[in-house]
Amino acid sequence: MERISLPVPIGALQELALAAFRCCGLNEADAEAAAEVLVTTDAWGVYTHGTKSLRGYARRLRGGGLRADGRPQIVRQGPAWAVIDGDSSVGMVTARFAMRTAMDKARACGLGFTTVRNSCHFGAAGFYAWMAAREGMVGQAMANDTASVTAPGSRGPVLGSNPFAFAAPAGEEAPILLDISTAAVAGGKVRIAAAFGQPIPPTWLVDLQGAPTLDPHLYPHAASLTPMAGHKGYGLALMIETLSGLLSGARLTQAIGSWIDSDPALPTDHGHAFLALDVGAFFPLDQYRQRMDELIRQIRSAPKAQGQERIWLPGEKEWEAQAQARVHGIPLPADVRESLSGLIGDLGLARPDWL
Amino acid sequence: MERISLPVPIGALQELALAAFRCCGLNEADAEAAAEVLVTTDAWGVYTHGTKSLRGYARRLRGGGLRADGRPQIVRQGPAWAVIDGDSSVGMVTARFAMRTAMDKARACGLGFTTVRNSCHFGAAGFYAWMAAREGMVGQAMANDTASVTAPGSRGPVLGSNPFAFAAPAGEEAPILLDISTAAVAGGKVRIAAAFGQPIPPTWLVDLQGAPTLDPHLYPHAASLTPMAGHKGYGLALMIETLSGLLSGARLTQAIGSWIDSDPALPTDHGHAFLALDVGAFFPLDQYRQRMDELIRQIRSAPKAQGQERIWLPGEKEWEAQAQARVHGIPLPADVRESLSGLIGDLGLARPDWL
Residue B111 is nearest to which of A81, A151, A211, comparing CB atoms?
A81
* H or E element at residue B287: helix B285-300
CATH 1.10.1530.10 given to domain B1-63+315-355: yes
Rounded to 5°, the CA angle A94-A100-A102 comes to: 105
pLDDT tens digits, A113-166: 999 999 999 999 999 999 999 999 999 999 999 999 999 999 999 999 999 999
How many whole angstroms separate alpha carbon A9 and alpha carbon A48? 19
Give the start-to-end residue ranges of the domains of chain A: 1-63+315-355, 72-183+227-301
Residue to substitute from A239, A274, A291, interface B, most B β-carbons within 10 A: A239
* Among the listed residues B45, B67, B51, B61, the one whose alpha carbon sits nearest the alpha carbon of residue B18: B51
Nearest Cβ partner for B246 among A110, A152, A288: A288
Of chain B, the percentage scoring pLDDT greater than 90 comes to 94
Q: Which of A77, A144, A154 is the best substitution to test chain B (most B C-beta atoms within 10 A)?
A: A154
pLDDT at B133 > cutoff 60:
yes
Angstroms from B170 CA to nearest CA on chain A: 11
Interval A177-185 mean pLDDT: 96
Q: What is the pLDDT of residues B311-331, one digit of tens each?
A: 999 999 999 999 999 999 999
**What pLDDT does residue B3 have?**
60
Residue A232 contacts B where some CB pair is shorter than 8 Å: yes
- CB atoms inside a 10 Å sphere around CB B205: 28
A114: nearest CA in chain B?
B282
CB interface of B with A, residues 238-297, below 8 Å: 238-239, 241-243, 246-249, 252-254, 277, 279, 281-283, 288, 291-292, 295
Q: How confident is the model at residue A67 (pLDDT cuts 50, 70, 90)?
A: very high
Q: What is the pLDDT of residues B31-64, one digit of tens each?
A: 999 999 999 999 999 999 999 999 999 999 999 9
CB-nearest partner of A109 from B80, B83, B151 = B80
Tell me what pLDDT residue B196 has: 87
Mean pLDDT over each residue of chain A, to the nearest integer: 96
Average pLDDT in the B166-193 region?
A: 95
What pLDDT, on the 0 to 100 scale, is given for residue B1?
A: 42
* Yes or no, beta carbons of B232 and A235 under 8 Å apart: no
Nearest alpha carbon to residue B218 among B157, B162, B268, B163: B157
Contact criterion met (CB < 8 Å) for A292 and B246: yes
Q: What is the mean pLDDT of chain B?
A: 96
AA letter at B76: R
Interface test with B, best of A75, A118, A232 (most B CBs within 10 A): A232
**Tens digit of each residue's pLDDT (9 = 90 or more) over B200-224:** 999 999 999 989 999 999 999 999 9
pLDDT digits (tens, 9 = 90+) for B231-248: 999 999 999 999 999 999
B226 within 8 A of B149, measured Cβ to Cβ: yes
- Name the closest residue on chain B to residue A106, using Cα atoms: B80
Chain B touched by A159 (CB under 8 Å): yes
Q: Average pLDDT in the A6-22 region? A: 98
pLDDT, tens digit, for every residue of B273-310?
999 999 999 999 999 999 999 999 999 999 999 999 99
pLDDT of residue A196: 87
Confidence of residue B258 (pLDDT cuts 50, 70, 90): very high
> Chain A: nearest CA to B54, how far in angstroms?
27
A16 to chain B, any CB pair closer than 8 A? The answer is: no
Asked if A151's CB is within 8 angstroms of B247's CB, the reply is: no
Nearest chain A Cα to B208, which residue? A305
Third-level CATH fold of A72-183+227-301: Ribosomal Protein S8; Chain: A, domain 1 (3.30.1370)
Whether residue A144 lies within 8 A of chain B, CB to CB, comes out as: no
CB contact A213 to B (< 8 Å): no
Per DSSP, chain A holds a count of helices (H) and strands (E) of 11, 10
* Interface probe, candidates B154, B244, B275, chain A, greatest A C-beta count within 10 A: B154
- B74 Cβ neighbours under 8 A, 6+ residues apart: B82, B83, B84, B101
> CATH number of the domain at B70-183+227-301, please?
3.30.1370.60
A306 contact B CB<8A: yes
pLDDT above 50 (res A1):
no
Contact (CB<8Å) B281/A113: no
A3 band by pLDDT with thresholds 50, 70 and 90 = low
Strand order in the sheet with B163-168: B73-78, B81-85, B111-119, B270-278, B137-143, B163-168, B176-181
Residues from chain A contacting residue B239 (CB–CB below 8 Å): 166, 168, 176, 178
Contact A152 B248 (CB under 8 A): no
Among B83, B137, B213, B232, most A C-beta atoms within 10 A, so best to mutate, is: B232
B303 touches chain A (CB under 8 A): yes
Contact call for B78 and A159, based on CB within 8 A? no
- State whether B304 and A81 contact (CB < 8 Å): no
Q: CB neighbours (10 Å) of residue B97?
A: 23
Q: Do domains A1-63+315-355 and A72-183+227-301 have the same CATH topology?
A: no
∠ at Cα A216 (A210, A218), nearest 5°? 55
Distance CA A344, CA A337 (A): 11
Q: What sign has the CA pseudo-torsion B45, B315, B126, A228?
A: positive
Question: Torsion over CA of B135, B137, B143 and B149, rounded to 10 degrees?
Answer: 120
